[in-house]
Structure 1
């Protein structure tokens, strides 16, 4: 038979009086309870009760184990439901958490007749983005972000918002992709339906929540689940009906950049907090973004030609685009000469990581950046390393960016290149008929990179890493 022992504490009934049911989840139900004895006697808590009879597979048992592990790992964020302890007896597992008495975000949306003012929407979204950015730097994807899974701590209008229900969450390593389809149809990201996704999928769900908050209707809708999935994959949300025309252009840009169907073009949670629409709201502190470590890793492994191309591109960034990079760079606390080393990254990660994540997560990221060990990076190089080509491509002004970057590259970076060398730069296999493919990318007059070749080169490592994975 299955081993349903978790090693959690015994003696739940002696410590708590179980009260009324306050909610139902995937596997169990949640009740209010009171503490029976000790310093906090009489205090109210929430208890998630998961019947062992429902755990019919080893996967179900593993899910419960993981949920408790994630709650422990993420302890300490102000927008995260506080975890107190886990108990078990022969019948049930009991997860004891803080009781949030302010109701679901969903109910507040409905009671307001659907729409929020931009400022009220900001106050909700800042809290959601903060907690999700925190989960992502710890290497956790929530996978079920929706208005039912955010509770207010009290009935008060300005009450704090808390994320609950990590029952579908999972740990994800920096370069890992998950493949199981979980979540709720209206909020599920396109790449989840394609079974290849990571932390970006949570940001899509926040985009759906933002759309609903601002206009009161769902961006993707159909009568059946398969219809909703089709809409998520194919349809573009409408921004023509009221109230969109009366909202600020920044608000619409914010939502569109969360609801980008290509996860590589989507903003991260940390970037969203630096977006012009939201960044001046009540002194937001930008969190460390896990994306910069992925990009820096790809940059360190790039050829000198690609580094030159990225440096040229980074010189064309606007004030808004630099705002985020400056914020990230200062979180790494550069030295007096304005440089960072692997040590700065280690310290910044250690500062951000919860106790549970210090051993595993921080190590994984540092190992992936070990090539930085004997070198330092100033802000200019950091911009070249941490700029996301895909995200810039999503902007209307990408063409201008790329053209002016190419002009800079022409002055100090472009050089003659032979076809075989370019092919290996781009990770093309020798079986490809190279001359046909590459003739547009090299100028016939002087054998240097053409504009097309330059843009291809900016994208190079994506192709390189693909080969490594497939």
Structure 2
């Protein structure tokens, strides 16, 4: 074997259990809800891992999931990353790729991100539960028209016998408006996981009875680590934002996520501290209600955490050098030396000097 051949040779694990498609066909096309849950949790978990690494698969289908063995409870592996791509936060892809029956409407509209994979998972789950495709036509163009215009059929057998939670989950996976996929749960079980869709979907009530780990968003890890190293003043500023948290947050699986953060366990964190640490200011600022959130948080910060602060202290928290101190003076009120509202929001943001000169 020459050096070039050796360099490109890779080792892959043998999957002896065959494709998910083969198992679907062997069952006559229908899985029980309990069995479908086991499949979909594995799919969501591996896809969540990919998305958190910035990878979108773009060709999720039963043929691309292989079982490790012929056992009924065998683990699955995702294969065929030939169409996958790296994607940055807020980036949108525009090339039409994937298999027709599983392609998302966002892909056909040439503007999509990780939600394209979520749609494909919805198609797979629909097939698992009823044995037929949600969108069908004799030609590829006909399939694309159905994906864009038609709604899945939930009236025929076996759908009347399928649980309300399962149907709700499928509908959310197959929501044509990708912005609403993040609203994964019923009003009493909402769980916002920083827009990481696969992680959010795992927390849906239909899957809540299952024992499975919550994939940990690396962003959460970094935010919490930063919080633990922040000054008491910075932590007080972040905690003020928690006044806007919904009661439903307390019903989420935050304790499960905390248990996955053992490397940071040298400093114990309670529920409120974790939620404060995991807040992403950039994402909050994107909300239409940001002005109200910021104002309410500042009012609470005024009562509970705001105090006289020096420019030097702010500079240390923000890692700014002395030449940049003049910018920070505008953040502090002259009458009492405390942060102003503008100073509070910029302090939370960790704004750069360049953006300080252009934003108000």
Q: Give the TM interval when normalised to the shorter protein.
A: 0.5 to 0.7
Residue 223 of structure 2 contacts residue 278 of structure 2 at CA under 8 Å; is this kept in 1?
no
* SS of residue matched to 2:77: strand
Residue in structure 2 matched with residue 289 of structure 1 by the alignment? 217
| Equivalent-residue separation in structure 2 for 1:386 and 1:110 (angstroms) | 46
Using the size of structure 1 for normalisation, the TM-score is 0.49
Give CA deviations for 1:268-305 in whole Å, capped at 9, x if unaligned.
Answer: 11122222211332x20101136869999xxxxxxxxx
| Equivalent-residue separation in structure 2 for 1:162 and 1:200 (angstroms) | 20
Q: CA deviation at 1:142?
A: 0.8
Residue in structure 1 matched with residue 67 of structure 2 by the alignment? 152
Residue in structure 1 matched with residue 275 of structure 2 by the alignment? 379
Give CA deviations for 1:125-145 in whole Å, capped at 9, x if unaligned.
Answer: 111111111111111111100
Matched, 1:280 2:195: no
Residue 295 of structure 1 contacts residue 385 of structure 1 at CA under 8 Å; is this kept in 2?
no
Q: CA deviation at 1:164?
A: 0.9
Question: Which of 142, 154, 161 pairs up with 1:246?
Answer: 161
After superposition, the Cα gap between the structure-2 partners of 1:390 and 1:209, relative to the gap in structure 1 and judged at 3 Å, is farther
* SS of residue matched to 2:180: coil
Q: Which runs of 5+ in 1 are unaligned?
A: 1-7, 13-84, 88-94, 297-306, 341-376, 394-401, 414-470
- Please identify which structure carries the higher strand content: 1
After superposition, the Cα gap between the structure-2 partners of 1:261 and 1:326, relative to the gap in structure 1 and judged at 3 Å, is farther
After superposition, the Cα gap between the structure-2 partners of 1:226 and 1:120, relative to the gap in structure 1 and judged at 3 Å, is same
* SS of residue matched to 1:317: helix
Structure 1 residues 313-352: aligned runs within 5 Å? 314-317=245-248, 322-328=251-257, 331=260, 333=264, 335-338=267-270
Question: Which of 138, 141, 146 pairs up with 1:231?
Answer: 146
Q: Which runs of 5+ in 2 are unaligned?
A: 183-196, 225-237, 301-360
| Equivalent-residue separation in structure 2 for 1:96 and 1:156 (angstroms) | 23
Residue 314 of structure 1 contacts residue 387 of structure 1 at CA under 8 Å; is this kept in 2?
no
Structure 1 residues 118-157: aligned runs within 5 Å? 118-157=33-72
| Equivalent-residue separation in structure 1 for 2:221 and 2:180 (angstroms) | 17
After superposition, the Cα gap between the structure-2 partners of 1:386 and 1:157, relative to the gap in structure 1 and judged at 3 Å, is farther
Pairwise CA RMSD: 3.9
| Equivalent-residue separation in structure 2 for 1:127 and 1:220 (angstroms) | 24
Using the size of structure 2 for normalisation, the TM-score is 0.63
| Equivalent-residue separation in structure 1 for 2:50 and 2:163 (angstroms) | 30
* SS of residue matched to 1:151: strand
Give CA deviations for 1:1-34 in whole Å, capped at 9, x if unaligned.
Answer: xxxxxxx95457xxxxxxxxxxxxxxxxxxxxxx
* SS of residue matched to 2:17: coil
How many positions carry a matched residue from both structures? 265
Matched, 1:191 2:130: no
Residue 314 of structure 1 contacts residue 383 of structure 1 at CA under 8 Å; is this kept in 2?
no
Residue 142 of structure 1 contacts residue 169 of structure 1 at CA under 8 Å; is this kept in 2?
yes
| Equivalent-residue separation in structure 2 for 1:389 and 1:226 (angstroms) | 40
| Equivalent-residue separation in structure 2 for 1:294 and 1:174 (angstroms) | 15
Residue 223 of structure 2 contacts residue 279 of structure 2 at CA under 8 Å; is this kept in 1?
no
Higher relative contact order at CA 8 Å, sep ≥6: structure 1 or structure 2? 2
Give CA deviations for 1:395-441 in whole Å, capped at 9, x if unaligned.
Answer: xxxxxxx9xx99x97xx78xxxxxxxxxxxxxxxxxxxxxxxxxxxx
Question: Which of 116, 128, 133 pairs up with 1:218?
Answer: 133
